[in-house]
Structure 1
Amino acid sequence: MPAPVATRHRPLLFIVGLFFLYFSNGSHAWAVAPWVALPCLLLVTRTLRPWATYVLMAVSFGVVTQASLWHFATQDARQLLHYVPLAAGLLFGLPYALDTAAFGRKKPPGWQTLVFPLAYTCLEFAVGSLNPYGTMGMLPYSQLGFLALAQLASVTGIWGITFLLTWFGSVVAYEAAQYLAKGHLGQVGAVYLAFFGVVVLFGSWRLSQKNPPGGARVASLHVQDRAGLSRLWTLRQTNPAAFRVTSDSVIHQLLLATRQQAQAGAQVVVWSEVSPPIYAADEPRLLDSLKRLTRETGVMLVASPYVYETAPKKDQNKLWLIDPAGNLVFTHLKYGGNIIEGCEQGNGQLQAANTPLGKVSAVICWDGDFPHAMRQVSKLDAGLLLIPAADWQAIDPLHTMVAQFRGIENGCSVVRQTLSGRSVMADPYGRVITQMDHFATTRWFMQGQLPTQRIPTLYGLLGDWFAWLCVAGLALVVWLSYKIY
């Protein structure tokens, strides 16, 4: 076992680790936080027994994750769904326990620093792939501010970033123990620095590239906030006539704002999610109005109405892409987050429109949290991804950061227009073209020039190859440990 950290220092290290762990996730994430949190926590857990490590980290990780993702799943703390981050966090004691078991030897070899990153990456991959909430809350999203590192997502998806972050923590803890025991550092740190240097150089090279020529002038907007939606929800249940009057007012504002953006040069206009809320009986009338709007203004429109159905039918959270000639090119039903919203679930099949501006795809809000499904953007060769969304303050701006990673992974520009959150237009490298904070202004629109030609990426071609490599690597490391010890 590596020389243990002095007993008197362990509580302080653990507190520092938990403090930075809190800021490794959620809406207040710092890019530097996980780089500090992980070494501190591992320096403590490697002095414990595996079972003690699991109990300590499962409870601590669960509590801290719940705190950093407060109101993540639902804004009502009385609902069981509110505590999904706590339940998910309990699983993350496992990588720490495996790491402790690997380092519970007198002289653990340097390759055992791979146990923790392999186990952590495999767990994030499993949780992100199998749970109905998607990947929001995963460690890599904290690194959007470190844009050179974020470019790794174009090769490995977010899983490579998870691996690099957690391997850093493992290596620092290992080298610190070596220094305490022998008075000098080992070679593992040099190996890590070489890998890290290559990744950062690659990311810097990508960021030095210019965007493809051409593109489209895109505007995005919304005209209401969460309070307005709540009023409409209440009217829908209590006063249908008043609901229709209020909904028609929202529609009028959306049409007027769209005409203004068209006059300002917009070629594409994107409305936020739930723009507007309507009764199913009023859907044909709205669609006719929007077709007429696009013919008169010459814009391509992405509208995202929320359609209230009558029982036993489920409500529909849908998206329409209408071309400048007034044709409904495709309809998309939201497939993400239905466990909370209870609306009709889409089939998860993305679509793309061939336009003079380039290939355009669109999804709704929570759909973008599923990297595997969103890789269809690459298969469709869409260079512009439009995402109407509706957030709330507790997940702002985290949810928008997630969408920017989908752009990096698939080599496409992203427009995410969100009610009650941060809206952003970003290029295929995740660089912000323009953005708008719902809570900092009452002028809820933005406009920018975006490239529409997709940049091919390895992740877009091969998908989760790196995550599966980590699964195989973990199995190999566990087998080697068993054979050796």
Structure 2
Amino acid sequence: MNPPSAKTSALLNFLWLILGCATLLFMGGKWNIPILVWIGGIFFIRYFRNARNFWGVLLALPFLLLASHIFFLGLAVQVTVFFQVIIAVSYTLYILIPCVADRLLYRRVGSPLLSTLVYPTALIAFQFLLSYSEALGTVLNWTVSLFSMKPLIQLVSLTGVWGPSFLVGWFAAIFNALWEAGFEFKKVRAPVIVFTTTLVLVLVWGSTRMVFDAPAPGTVKVGSVIVGLPEENIFYTYLEQPKDAQLAQKEKYRQMTFAVQDQLFAASERLIPSGIKILAWPSGSAVVFAEDAPRLIARMQAFARQHQVYFFPS
């Protein structure tokens, strides 16, 4: 069989970039699909390894920026345009830098096993550096996207949020090693066996911990609720209007805030029978005008006293 032409190879590689960007939209955030968190990195590694030169890296930038921007719009719309730009650039670098590090180093590592650790190590190193940003913290960390995988998430008790993300990156590198070997297992036997054994041990340990290390009597139960907003960017939309328009529409927006507050209290009320002792509302949830803040605070205090809970409306 004749090898594909350079044009065909370039188009095929571009497909890996597009597939990676498409999966990126679902790797956390509003549209989270946990299985895609494991798949997205495979396409990104494949694209950057096959990119012929620096222009391939530049070509990826606008697509990564666009996908990152759309991802964050799905995650949080109640932020300034400047912060949206910061997030898009940060998430683009979050994808780009580990892939470029992998592209430059994975062939230079003598060991087939160690070569699969370049990408996950670079990924976690960059995640760790981003966590020092007060504006970002760990908001982009993929571990949050895997929360429904309970046995895996138990690893956080040992490694912090870095462990599950490392396994995600390692899986992507292992899959690419298999891909480059034409999916001939014997060529990459050692890396595949080590990774699979590690993952199985983590899952078995996590499952065992869930069964035999269940919360003991006296463990404090924590709950949180969130509700949707009636209008995207509700306060930015309001505040960016001319003063006359703000005055004309203020009562409309006040009623919106009252509706959101009522929904938060109703959702919290439904959570009380579960036995929670600590209740939290996510940051930015309880939208309120300044003149209405004392009334809302008094309502929160009354709710906490009535239900005997510690209330943290962040």
Global fold match (TM > 0.5): yes
- Which residue identity does 1:44 align to in structure 2? Y
Contact 1:5–1:47 (8 Å) recurs in 2: no
Give the whole-Å Cα distance in 1 for the aligned partners of 2:159 and 2:32: 22
Structure 1 residues 278 and 114, CA gap change in structure 2 (3 angstroms): same
Counterpart for residue 170 of structure 1: 173
Structure 1 residues 159 and 54, CA gap change in structure 2 (3 angstroms): farther
Counterpart for residue 277 of structure 1: 288
| CA-atom RMSD in angstroms | 4.8
Structure 1 residues 181 and 128, CA gap change in structure 2 (3 angstroms): same
Give the whole-Å Cα distance in 2 for the aligned partners of 1:222 and 1:30: 19
Structure 1 residues 28 and 5, CA gap change in structure 2 (3 angstroms): farther
Contact 1:219–1:269 (8 Å) recurs in 2: yes
Counterpart for residue 84 of structure 1: 86
Q: Tell me how far 1:181 sits from its aligned partner.
A: 8.5
- Which residue identity does 2:288 align to in structure 1? P
Structure 1 residues 301 and 82, CA gap change in structure 2 (3 angstroms): same
SS in 2 for 1:187: helix
Structure 1 residues 208 and 80, CA gap change in structure 2 (3 angstroms): same
- Which residue identity does 2:308 align to in structure 1? M
- Percent of pairs with identical residues: 18
> How many residues align structurally?
296
Render the CA deviation track for 1:169-195: whole Å, top value 9, x for unaligned: 112212332346897433111111111
Q: Tell me how far 1:54 sits from its aligned partner.
A: 3.5
Give the whole-Å Cα distance in 2 for the aligned partners of 1:224 and 1:36: 29
Give the whole-Å Cα distance in 2 for the aligned partners of 1:190 and 1:174: 13
- Which residue identity does 1:123 align to in structure 2? F
Contact 1:73–1:81 (8 Å) recurs in 2: no
SS in 2 for 1:24: coil
- Which residue identity does 2:54 align to in structure 1? W
- Which residue identity does 1:238 align to in structure 2? L
Counterpart for residue 300 of structure 1: 308
Aligned with 2:111 (options 109, 112, 116): 109
Counterpart for residue 201 of structure 1: 204
Give yes or no for the alignment of 1:161 onto 2:195: no
Contact 1:143–1:150 (8 Å) recurs in 2: yes
Contiguous gaps of at least 5 residues in structure 1? 303-320, 322-361, 365-485
Give yes or no for the alignment of 1:44 onto 2:52: no
The 5 A counterparts of 1:208-357 are 208-209=211-212, 210-214=214-218, 226=230, 238=247, 270=279, 272=281, 277=288, 279=290, 283=294, 297=306, 299-301=307-309
Give the whole-Å Cα distance in 1 for the aligned partners of 2:272 and 2:106: 65
What is the TM-score normalised by the length of structure 2?
A: 0.70
Give yes or no for the alignment of 1:139 onto 2:148: no
Give the whole-Å Cα distance in 2 for the aligned partners of 1:200 and 1:129: 29
Contact 1:121–1:162 (8 Å) recurs in 2: yes
Moved more, 161-170 or 87-96: 87-96
Q: Tell me how far 1:82 sits from its aligned partner.
A: 2.7
SS in 2 for 1:145: coil
Contact 1:178–1:186 (8 Å) recurs in 2: no
Give the whole-Å Cα distance in 1 for the aligned partners of 2:135 and 2:57: 25
Structure 1 residues 165 and 57, CA gap change in structure 2 (3 angstroms): farther
Aligned with 2:191 (options 182, 188, 191): 188
Contact 2:78–2:234 (8 Å) recurs in 1: no
Contiguous gaps of at least 5 residues in structure 2? none
Q: Tell me how far 1:60 sits from its aligned partner.
A: 3.5
The 5 A counterparts of 1:41-80 are 41-49=44-52, 51-52=54-55, 54-70=57-73, 72=75, 74=77, 79-80=81-82
Q: Tell me how far 1:282 sits from its aligned partner.
A: 7.5
What is the TM-score normalised by the length of structure 1?
A: 0.48
Give yes or no for the alignment of 1:16 onto 2:19: yes
- Which residue identity does 2:247 align to in structure 1? T
Which structure has greater helix proportion?
2
Moved more, 93-102 or 213-222: 213-222
Structure 1 residues 146 and 126, CA gap change in structure 2 (3 angstroms): same
Give the whole-Å Cα distance in 2 for the aligned partners of 1:206 and 1:64: 37
Aligned with 2:38 (options 11, 35, 53): 35
Give the whole-Å Cα distance in 2 for the aligned partners of 1:145 and 1:62: 27
Contact 1:95–1:119 (8 Å) recurs in 2: yes
Counterpart for residue 397 of structure 1: none
Give the whole-Å Cα distance in 2 for the aligned partners of 1:183 and 1:159: 30
- Which residue identity does 1:62 align to in structure 2? L
Q: Tell me how far 1:151 sits from its aligned partner.
A: 1.4
Q: Tell me how far 1:149 sits from its aligned partner.
A: 1.1
Counterpart for residue 457 of structure 1: none
Give the whole-Å Cα distance in 1 for the aligned partners of 2:128 and 2:285: 31
Give the whole-Å Cα distance in 2 for the aligned partners of 1:274 and 1:31: 25
Q: Tell me how far 1:274 sits from its aligned partner.
A: 6.3
